Amino acid sequence: MKLNKYRLTEELEAELRNQIAQVKESFENVSETILQSPADSGGWSILQCLDHLNSYGFYYLPQISDALKRAKRSDSSVYKSGWLGDYFTKIMSPETGTKKFKAFRDHQPEKGLDSKRVISEFLRQEELLLGYLSDAKSLDMASVKIPLSISPFIGIRLGDTFRFLLAHNRRHLLQAKRNL
């Protein structure tokens, strides 16, 4: 699928800023009991949802940083997403991906997490991702691939990695907000 690179990065930046604001407004001043309480359905607590997202950030942010150094500069306004990146973004997006997934062992959050640490780490990672998106505007985001955390032998394009991560964030922020 062909997208306008500048529009895409602007939309992703706006979504990231929205996610940062959501976390600050919804979770920073909530009691520890609510943050730690598992969902009524037996699912993750608010903190576990955020910690799960942090675990993906610990993997993908260094990968993105390296990819930004390897990517070719480009004045083109066109970004062509890959079929695999489209697929992963679609299945992860809460709007189009209705299937539930069991988290891989490396991404399963603990119980009894430190709320200040988890929330501040999430916000730190989101701010870092904002900077990476800004850097990517002048690059060919299709020229480099990021290995998937679930299978390092398979990669998706840098632009698709941004799209996938934000869809994944949307999914779990909605899950966390259901616990309020």
pLDDT tens digits along 50-106: 999 999 999 999 999 999 999 999 989 999 999 999 999 998 888 876 667 777 677
Q: Which CATH fold topology does 2-177 show?
A: Four Helix Bundle (Hemerythrin (Met), subunit A) (1.20.120)
| Share of residues in the chain with pLDDT > 70 (%) | 98
165 close to 56: Cβ distance less than 8 angstroms: yes
Backbone φ and ψ for 103, nearest 5 degrees, come out as -65, 140
Q: What is the pLDDT of residue 97?
A: 63
* pLDDT reading at 109 higher than 70: yes
Tokens representing residue 42 in the block: 């037996």
